[in-house]
Amino acid sequence: MADRTVARRRHRPAHCLARDSEWRPPLLVRFSAGEAGAWLVDSIAPIVGESLPPASHVAVLEGPAVAVPHAPHAWALSGVVSSLKYATRADVTAMNAKGQPATCSRAEDTLAALIPIRKSEAWWALTQDERMGVMRAGAHFELGTEYLPAVARRLHHCRELGAAQPFDFLTFFTYAPAEAGRFDEMLRRLRATPEWAYVEREVDVRLHLAV
């Protein structure tokens, strides 16, 4: 048993530890899917719109590594961990009070979900206060906070990288197998909120850590 724990620690990816509420300056991250990487793919399911091609592994490459061409890949998605744009001090205080673990920071978090999302032109035509109003109407932050600290989350922004990006956001979560049911429950609740009416492409990629 001890040996298994050591083996798992040794193979834990030394990436995705920065929280979006803490990281300064912006961090460039690339999720590269192919035949190599610390995460093994369990499923790739289109929720809305076009899916992503099949792959067996996903590697998470951070910082300067993203400039280095990775081994042949099925697809690669890039995003930037940036500063908070909508969460208020009260939201952050509430999230911190529950505990906000960094993704990949706990040995028991052997499962992950990479959920790339693109929102519609109608969403981006709104002003920031209007977009925040839509998120508030569905209580996105309060709903999500209910699942802290069981779920570790990190948000990556893609629009800043240019018009060619296929998604606006890469959302990434890590959690323990015992929390998989609650994670799915959270997704069902979030997808039923008014915000999701603006989601025109969403793919649910489930992963487990290679040990």
Q: Using the rule CB under 6 A, is 145 a contact of ligand HEM?
A: yes
The encoded tokens of residue 150 equal 């069981």
Q: How far is CA 13 from the centre of its chain?
A: 15
Q: Using the rule CB under 6 A, is 124 a contact of ligand HEM?
A: no
The encoded tokens of residue 114 equal 């990479």
**H-only helix segments in 1-158:** 2-11, 89-98, 121-125, 128-137, 140-145
Q: Using the rule CB under 6 A, is 18 a contact of ligand HEM?
A: no
Smallest distance from ligand HEM to CB 35, Å: 27
Q: Using the rule CB under 6 A, is 94 a contact of ligand HEM?
A: no
DSSP classification of residue 70: P
Among 40, 74, 136, 141, binds ligand HEM (CB under 6 A): 141
Parallel, antiparallel or unpaired: strands 111-119 and 73-81: unpaired
Radius of gyration of the chain from its Cα atoms, rounded to whole angstroms:
17
Among 48, 84, 122, 180, binds ligand HEM (CB under 6 A): 84
Phi, psi of 155 (to 5 degrees): -105, 130
Q: What is the size of the binding site for ligand HEM (CB under 6 A)?
A: 23
Among 49, 63, 86, 108, binds ligand HEM (CB under 6 A): 86
Smallest distance from ligand HEM to CB 127, Å: 13
SS3 label, residue 30 = strand
8 Å CB contact between 138 and 194: yes
Strands of 49-192 (E only): list them: 57-62, 73-81, 111-119, 152-157, 169-175
Task: Report the alpha-carbon distance of residue 190 to residue 193 in Å, rounded.
Answer: 5
Q: Using the rule CB under 6 A, is 172 a contact of ligand HEM?
A: no
Looking at the Cβ atoms of 36 and 193, the one nearer to ligand HEM is 193
Q: Using the rule CB under 6 A, is 156 a contact of ligand HEM?
A: no
Looking at the Cβ atoms of 73 and 77, the one nearer to ligand HEM is 77
Burial (CB count within 10 angstroms: exposed 0-12, middle 13-18, buried 19+), residue 11: exposed
Among 36, 76, 190, 211, binds ligand HEM (CB under 6 A): 190
Stretch that binds ligand HEM, among 1-9, 25-33, 50-58, 138-146 (CB under 6 A): 138-146
Smallest distance from ligand HEM to CB 7, Å: 28
- Give the residues lining the site for ligand HEM (CB under 6 A): 84-87, 91, 95, 115, 117, 131, 140-141, 144-145, 147-148, 151, 153, 155, 169, 171, 186-187, 190
